[in-house]
Amino acid sequence: MQTETVHVPLDGGRAYDILIGRGLLAGIGPRVAALNARAVAVVSDETVAAEYGEAVTASLAQASLRTALITVAPGEGSKSYAGFAQVCDGLIAHRIERGDLVLALGGGVVGDLAGFAAASLRRGVRFVQAPTTLLAQVDSSVGGKTGINSPHGKNLVGAFHQPSLVVADTASLDTLSLREMRAGYAEVAKYGLIDDPDFFAWCEANLAEIFSGGPAREAAVASCCRAKAGVVVRDEREDGERALLNLGHTFAHALERLTAYDSARLVHGEAVAIGLCLAFRFSARLGLCPGQDAGRVANHLAMAGLPTTLAQVPGGCGDADQLLDAMRQDKKVRDGALTFILARGIGKSFIAPGIDAGAVREFLVTELG
Among 44-48, 192-196, 236-240, 275-279, which stretch is predicted with the lowest mean pLDDT?
236-240
Say if residues 74 and 44 touch (Cβ distance below 8 Å). Answer: no
Q: Is 154 annotated as belonging to a binding site? A: yes
Q: Is 110 annotated as belonging to a binding site? A: yes
Architecture in CATH of 4-173: 3-Layer(aba) Sandwich (3.40)
For residue 72, the SS3 value is: strand
Catalytically annotated residues: 123, 145, 187, 228, 238, 242, 246, 249, 253, 268
Q: Is 365 annotated as belonging to a binding site? A: no
- What's the pLDDT at 1? 57
Q: Is 107 annotated as belonging to a binding site? A: no
Each residue's pLDDT tens digit, 69-115? 999 999 999 999 999 999 999 999 999 999 999 999 999 999 999 99
Mean pLDDT score of the chain: 96
Each residue's pLDDT tens digit, 194-248? 999 999 999 999 999 999 988 999 999 999 999 999 999 999 998 899 999 999 9
Domain ranges of the chain: 4-173, 182-368
- What's the pLDDT at 239? 87
How far apart CA 17 and CA 8 sit, in angstroms, is 6
Q: CA-CA distances (angstroms) from residue 117 to 81, 128, 141?
A: 11, 12, 15
Q: Which residues lie closer than 8 Å to 357 by C-beta, 6 or more apart?
A: 324, 338
- What's the pLDDT at 158? 97
182-368 under CATH 3.30.160.110, yes or no: no
- What's the pLDDT at 41? 98
Helix (H) or strand (E) holding 66: strand 66-72
